[in-house]
Structure 1
């Protein structure tokens, strides 16, 4: 299954990756997320919008607050897509280790 390009675009930004890491702890209000960053709230709101549109977070209104939650399904698609590349690099590193072990003889 191909991964939506919006997911890769969302993951390309370190601030958005940090938002996702924070949401691993559980849902957080936008204000609580904002306290963790050295940026203006409109900038964080834009990052949250990108993550929401990529399907990586959901937004729920609770009173006056907006609560954000991690949605892991798109990340699973990225992991599945990356798996062949991981096998490729593991093979290369194993070959390098074997070569270095031979040199030590």
Structure 2
């Protein structure tokens, strides 16, 4: 599985996507704070965080018995770059379709 495939697979879960969004909005947070607002157990949060770590989306920092999580900027950059590349492809494809349709306009036969 490629890194990007792992990334999108990890983000396909609504809870994990919400965790990443929360970390992006609020910055580094302790695991206990990430439990707040989710109707899941602390062990379930730990499992979700493990998936996000293994996908390279978040990193973990330990301080004593506390675990702090933050988003890895390079992973967000990879997603952004992939999206921008695909946007250019689709924009060019749609522009070619517009050009083709302009060359072959269909008459409205239901008038």
> Residues 2-21 of structure 1: matches in 2 within 5 Å?
3-21=3-21
Q: TM-score, normalised by structure 2?
A: 0.73
Quick check: 1:26–1:70 contact (8 Å CA) kept in 2? yes
> Residues 1-105 of structure 1: matches in 2 within 5 Å?
3-24=3-24, 25-87=26-88, 88-89=90-91, 92=94
SS in 2 for 1:69: strand
Q: Which has the higher contact order (CA 8 A, sep 6+)?
A: 1
CA distance in 1, matches of 2:49, 2:27: 15
Quick check: 1:3–1:77 contact (8 Å CA) kept in 2? no
Deviation at 1:89, TM superposition (A): 5.0
Structure showing greater Rg: 2
CA distance in 1, matches of 2:6, 2:40: 23
When structure 1 is superposed on structure 2, of 8-17 and 80-89 the one drifting more is 80-89
Give the unaligned 5+ runs of structure 2: 103-111
Question: Alignment RMSD, CA only?
Answer: 2.6
Q: TM-score, normalised by structure 1?
A: 0.77
Count the aligned residue pairs: 97
